[in-house]
Amino acid sequence: MSNPVKTERRGHVLEVTLDRPPANAIDAATSIRMGEVFCDFRDDDDLRVAILASTGDRIFSAGWDLKAAAGGEHERMDYGAGGFGGITELWDLTKPVIAAVSGLAVGGGCEIMLAADLVVASEGAEFWFPETRLGNVPDAGGVQRLPRKLPRNVAMELLLTGRRMGAPEAHEWGLVNWVVPPDQVLGKAREVADHLARNAPLSMQAIKQVVRGIEGLSTRDAFGAVQKGRFPAYERMLVSEDHAEGPRAFTEKREPDFKGR
């Protein structure tokens, strides 16, 4: 059996490619492997940014492998570290992830895209939750994340009706960051990743941890959570060499040389 998840390191960037033709559907074994890959990414101090892409330009991912489901796989079984797709429940992943979406992102494919921090989509990409026609619920991030990213009534429309949302509309709502021609999706994702990889990695990790940790708090309580030291990534950033390197490089009129320590 071929490896369904391919990886490539490009400097401080890890490219993760879902390679399970024809639809890049995700069964339990694939999900477990994706979790292993993203845990390794989390724990590797030399890696700062990940790109999640897939092979082909027709289907980014069809989501849950329904043939595997018909064969006995179910929602309550072990899908590995990080939950379905390796990142939908990887709560301690503080490094940025960019989803490079070409073609259809269906159900679980949409949910792993929603778990990313930034999204590059092809002009023909579509986002689609068909679960109500399958007797299911998009519970790997659809019902949890979509109403936080879109106005509630728009999110409910997509979840209840199964309507497909095209990339231009998704961009208007802020669901995706960039819409580009199909042959430029990976190139744009790499451009963004390379830009992020030049930033202070501990700063990016602190931002992601704090943003996630203050969801649901009032502004006052959010300030208090940061000031009371609730976020280890933020505290680590404050005492790091990089914290001093940024101002020093600015005053010396040179590019900062961040080490991630």
Interatomic CA distance for residues 70 and 188, integer angstroms: 37
Count CA atoms within 13 Å of residue 111 on its CB side. 29
Name 43's Cβ contacts closer than 8 Å, sequence gap at least 6.
none
* Vertex 216 angle, CA 211 and 219, to 5°: 75
Q: Cβ–Cβ contacts within 10 Å for residue 84, how many?
A: 24
131 assigned to active site: yes
Interatomic CA distance for residues 12 and 74, integer angstroms: 36
**In this structure, are strands 165-166 and 126-128 parallel, antiparallel, or unpaired?**
antiparallel
Among the options 15, 89, 111, 126, which is catalytic? 111
Among the options 15, 89, 126, 131, which is catalytic? 131
In terms of Cα–Cα distance, which of 140, 20, 164, 134 is closest to 90? 140
111 assigned to active site: yes
Which residues are annotated as catalytic? 111, 131
